[in-house]
Homo-oligomer: A and B are copies of this chain.
Amino acid sequence: MSHNSFGHLFRVTTFGESHGPALGCVVDGCPPGIPLEADDIQAELDRRKPGQSRFTTQRREPDQVRILSGVFADDRTEGRQLTTGTPIALLIENTDQRSKDYSEIRDSYRPGHADYAYDAKYGIRDYRGGGRSSARETAARVAAGAIARKVLPAEVIVQAALVQMGPHAIDRARWDWAEVERNPFFCPDAEMAAFYEGYLDGIRKDGSSVGAVIEVVAEGVPPGLGAPIYGKLDADLAAAMMSINAVKGVEIGDGFASAALRGEENADEMRSGNAGAPTFLANHAGGILGGIATGQPIVCRFAVKPTSSILTPRRTVTRDNRDADIVTKGRHDPCVGIRAVPVAEAMMACVLADHYLRHRGQVGAN
């Protein structure tokens, strides 16, 4: 058991605080012989990197990753760097731990943050920039996710998008995956992305913040991945997404909407398909039944609460239990959900890679 590890056969252990010397992870269990360069990982990290638009924190971190172990290249590999099957350690040094006065958050608990909870648990916390509870930890997840993608069969495609900001949901009829990389919100609806620009500027200028809903989809997942009863693919996805900072809800397929359906509406009917696999006529189930992939796209959505670090003063208490007011200055994402998009992809890829190896272990199929 490890509070800072996830996965079983593809197992990721992360470490590091927001303002410590470095953060990173160890990926254990990766199959051998997979081409892996630091650049492969860097490309994913760059998508999550702060400071890329005015809509994310202005902290300037290059998030440069180093591979410390678990890969090897020589003339027999024709110079390509391959995984060796031993643990892959990834290191990202922190460079922009801006020197500032932390006395306020040292002594007062920011509402909506983990400050009080950490003190209640440990009696001590690294309050600088949120310490271990900072979303900066997700850089390590994204790095691990880049490796997970390479473990999966090539036909598995994992993509995520922001589908709601504050109360404003996208129009799914306008969904275009190509749009996701064209706007600073990872939004698949170009029209709504344009609207978000003005909307989020207003929120930011108000010294406020908003929540969001992210949808992550995996296509090409082989039927059979996953496992009953407590190793269910959807249970593992729920834990993976809920473990992302600020996430308050997770759903698969129709999710909460399915509660309002009748049985005949909800059943995903089947017709005989080519290649011996059924064709499903709907995907209310989001690609998972009984905890096991059906071969349909896996669809997972999660809700991100609004950033708790806001300029609007809030009532709180101090460490020694006196009333106080607090304003969280500094460089914060007005909608922390935006940067959760690459994190969502990483977590989905890690869960699938883990189940891919677990399935292969028990059943032997590839």
Please tell me which one of the listed residues B1, B251, B269 contacts residue A11 in the complex, with CB atoms under 8 A apart: B1
Contact A122 B251 (CB under 8 A): no
**Which residues from chain B contact A70 at a C-beta distance below 8 Å?**
15, 17
Does A156 sit within 8 A of B, measured CB to CB? no
What 0/1 pattern do residues 110 to 143 of A give for CB contact below 8 A with B?
0111101110111111100001110001000000
**Which residues from chain B contact A317 at a C-beta distance below 8 Å?**
270-273, 278
Contact A21 B68 (CB under 8 A): yes
> In the complex, A17→B292 CA distance in Å?
17
**Which residues from chain B contact A337 at a C-beta distance below 8 Å?**
259
> In the complex, A14→B308 CA distance in Å?
36
Contact A85 B308 (CB under 8 A): no
Closest A-B pairs by Cβ, 10 of them:
A114-B290, A361-B361, A249-B251, A3-B231, A209-B263, A117-B292, A249-B255, A211-B259, A111-B267, A120-B223
Contact A315 B121 (CB under 8 A): no
Contact B86 A4 (CB under 8 A): yes
Please tell me which one of the listed residues B120, B211, B229, B242 contacts residue A294 in the complex, with CB atoms under 8 A apart: B120
Does A250 sit within 8 A of B, measured CB to CB? yes
Does A8 sit within 8 A of B, measured CB to CB? yes
Interface residues of A in 305-332 (CB under 8 A from B): 305-310, 312, 314-317, 321-323
Contact B289 A113 (CB under 8 A): yes
Does A29 sit within 8 A of B, measured CB to CB? yes
Best-surrounded residue of A111, A293, A306 (most CB of chain B within 10 A): A111
Does A264 sit within 8 A of B, measured CB to CB? yes
Interface residues of A in 18-52 (CB under 8 A from B): 20-24, 26, 28-33
Does A261 sit within 8 A of B, measured CB to CB? yes
Contact A248 B239 (CB under 8 A): no
Measured CB to CB, the closest approach of chain B to A168, in angstroms, equals 9
Measured CB to CB, the closest approach of chain B to A262, in angstroms, equals 5
- Can you add 4 more A-B contacts, CB < 8 Å, to A17-B86, A121-B224? A3-B230, A116-B289, A117-B226, A118-B228
Does A59 sit within 8 A of B, measured CB to CB? no
Contact A312 B263 (CB under 8 A): yes
Contact B286 A248 (CB under 8 A): yes
Q: Which residue of B lies closest to A366 (CB)?
A: B364
> In the complex, A2→B235 CA distance in Å?
14
Known: A84-B126, A235-B243, A248-B286. A278 touches B116 (CB 8 A): yes
Contact A226 B121 (CB under 8 A): yes
Q: Which residue of B lies closest to A112 (CB)?
A: B267
> In the complex, A253→B247 CA distance in Å?
11
Does A155 sit within 8 A of B, measured CB to CB? no
> In the complex, A266→B82 CA distance in Å?
33
Contact B26 A15 (CB under 8 A): yes
Please tell me which one of the listed residues B1, B114, B315 contacts residue A289 in the complex, with CB atoms under 8 A apart: B114
Does A63 sit within 8 A of B, measured CB to CB? no
Measured CB to CB, the closest approach of chain B to A137, in angstroms, equals 6
Please tell me which one of the listed residues B28, B260, B304, B322 contacts residue A4 in the complex, with CB atoms under 8 A apart: B28
Contact B28 A2 (CB under 8 A): yes
What 0/1 pattern do residues 198 to 218 of A give for CB contact below 8 A with B?
000001000011111100000
Contact B224 A235 (CB under 8 A): no
**Which residues from chain B contact A185 at a C-beta distance below 8 Å?**
none
Measured CB to CB, the closest approach of chain B to A252, in angstroms, equals 5
Contact B13 A269 (CB under 8 A): no
